[in-house]
Structure 1
Amino acid sequence: MTRSLATAIGFTAILMWALLALFTVGSGPVPPLQLNAICFSIGGAIGLIWCAARPGGFARMIAPGWKVIAFGTAGLFGYHFFYFSALRVAPPAQAGLVAYLWPLLIVLLSGLLPGERLRAGHVLGAITGFVGAALLISKGGAGLSAEWAKGYALAFACALTWSSYTVLSRRLGAAPSEVVTLFCLASALLSAVAHLALEETAWPHDGLGWASMLALGLGPVGLAFYVWDIGVKRGNIQLLGTASYAAPLLSTLVLVLAGVAKPTEWLAASALLITLGAVLAARASARAPKLSSPAG
């Protein structure tokens, strides 16, 4: 697999994450951790089917050992746990802005990886993209308030968890992507336990709600993790990190097309900044010397 193809595969995760908000709205009254448990169960089932269809798939799934499995589970479950907790104690828009520091952190932390070089274009592109994401999520609001410090701290923990998981996944390049199956199944179990302890069970009211919940598990909280794993291990991790800023933009566009949100001047400004950030990062990556991809 070439580095360009792996990067393209990883980008499909960003496209799926763009549908996260729409499907979450459609899933109705199902509480976050319960939804998490159901979706990760579906995602784990996808992995089991994939492993069954590939010779030696189950052997590769368990080959990395418990340390790698624990690491991946902490990344997937930890991100969602911190994210949903942050939105419980802080305004969602502002907490979401802090949580969306993770693409910037991916680009910056990736410079610490062997064989990678952080260039000025990567940093400038990441910062430009973050400004665009900030405009999009805050929608021109007055900014963050110290009143919600606990929520912002949880949101930052969310960003740090996912960016660290993504960058460190590159160091685990020898771990086959089949192991993501166990990440999903373990995250589903932890989410179910947390749900029983913290939430009241609720189910969708209609067919649209059930379809949205199924779509979440098949895409944004399922297949997306498998293709993301391929992208960050074998592709251009810095370009993927900056391209991740497209997620809030595409998510908003989907909501506009679905009639859930209205287009604003902030959307246009964000589109320009996010696109410019991606172009800057892409130019920096194109000028970088070609390096061999790690096996995975």
Structure 2
Amino acid sequence: MKKTIAIAVTALALGTLAGCSNADPEIESTPTASNGSGFDLSTVQKDDKLAAEVPAKIAESGKLSVGTSADYEPAEYIDLATNQPAGFDIDIMSALAAKLGLKAEYTNAPFDSILPAVGNKYNAAISSFSITPERTQQVNMVSYMKSGSLFMVKADNDGFKTDDLCGKTLGAQSGTSQQTYLEDASAKCTADGKAAISLKPESDAQMLTTKLGGGQLDAIMVDNIAAAFTSKKHPNEFKTVGDVIDSDDAGIVVAKNDEQLAKVIQAGVQALIDDGTIDKILASWDVAPSSAIKTSKLN
């Protein structure tokens, strides 16, 4: 999965969420109800065998501290009605914590600040992180679902072509696979003697949709799940162009030196796959079944 943009497209929602996205509120999520998805997290039962494998310090605290960049609906965002984290990533992580006999405690932080803090500030992180060779050199990543990327444009833009990016002004979130993809595409443009892409990365994903809607960007590169969500909800404002690019797995992040936690998280995710919990969570957020995986791997 490519961690990309937030899809809160009304002016009020964008402004309010943008104000939250760089803060670091610690919010405890209990497995008593879902945050608006329709999936009831209280149905997730603790697995005593898995709980016994949780590192002692975490087990004694009863909490799993989780870093997330809550600016990316429907994966993770701040529900304006409750000021609580919501999204399918949040439901999956909260279900995982419940399976391990823990409660997830979330810290909202800028996306590109999260990975370096895992193992210090956070026990783990979930924020639609693509599993890449570069990341797995630095951290452990446990796969839990998959998706790809799409280009998104304004609904009235009929001229944008995904095979003609040179010279275009394009947006992506800082530190993401989309940014890397567009940087590589721009390098190819210049190598071919064409104009470079004018790439406008944003650390706050909310600004991407704001600038696209305002006409400051020709297109943004987004996750295909987010694209489906946006185009369905706001067909008069945004649309996708082209086919899904680079479908890959998303991973829960654990510190490289914390093998015990990484292994129990992988086992917990597999248990949630096997008992149908992750399928139910994805369905409750209208995520296509093709995003589900059958086997969780520790990378």
Q: TM-score, normalised by structure 1?
A: 0.27
Higher strand share: 2
* Larger relative contact order (Cα-Cα within 8 Å, sequence gap ≥ 6): 1
